[in-house]
């Protein structure tokens, strides 16, 4: 793993930069979202991911668990699907 912090289980989630009040940036809202609003929201989420010490763990988790929504490990759902 390329992360500077090593975790043996899901404790990495408590160290995620997105934890807490920032979490809504990482998921689409319940109501329809305009394309420009989605792009801005995802861009902000990705900028938070870029500073996260557990980004690699997050992405590995999302891929292993087939997370279908949101930004995980700096990638959107569409970008993660392209990896498969």
Give domain status of residue 45, yes or no: yes
How many other C-beta atoms lie within 10 A of the C-beta of residue 46?
A: 17
Give domain status of residue 73, yes or no: yes
Give domain status of residue 43, yes or no: yes
Sign of the CA dihedral with 47 first, then 48, 54, and 57 last: negative
- The overall average pLDDT reported for the chain is 89
Number of domains in the chain: 1
Give domain status of residue 3, yes or no: no
pLDDT digits (tens, 9 = 90+) for 46-63: 999 999 999 999 999 999
Whether residue 3 is predicted with pLDDT greater than 50 in this model: the reply is no
Q: Which residue do the tokens 């390329």 mark?
A: 2
Range of the domain at 55: 10-83
pLDDT digits (tens, 9 = 90+) for 17-37: 998 898 899 999 999 999 999
């Amino acid at each position: 793993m390329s992360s500077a912090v090593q975790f043996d289980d899901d404790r990495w989630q408590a160290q995620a930069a997105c934890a807490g009040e920032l979490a809504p940036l990482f998921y689409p809202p319940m109501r329809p979202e305009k394309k420009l609003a989605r792009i801005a929201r995802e861009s902000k989420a990705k900028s938070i991911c870029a500073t996260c010490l557990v980004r690699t763990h997050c992405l590995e988790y999302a891929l292993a668990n087939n997370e279908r929504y949101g930004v995980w490990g700096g990638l959107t759902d569409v970008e993660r699907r392209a990896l498969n």
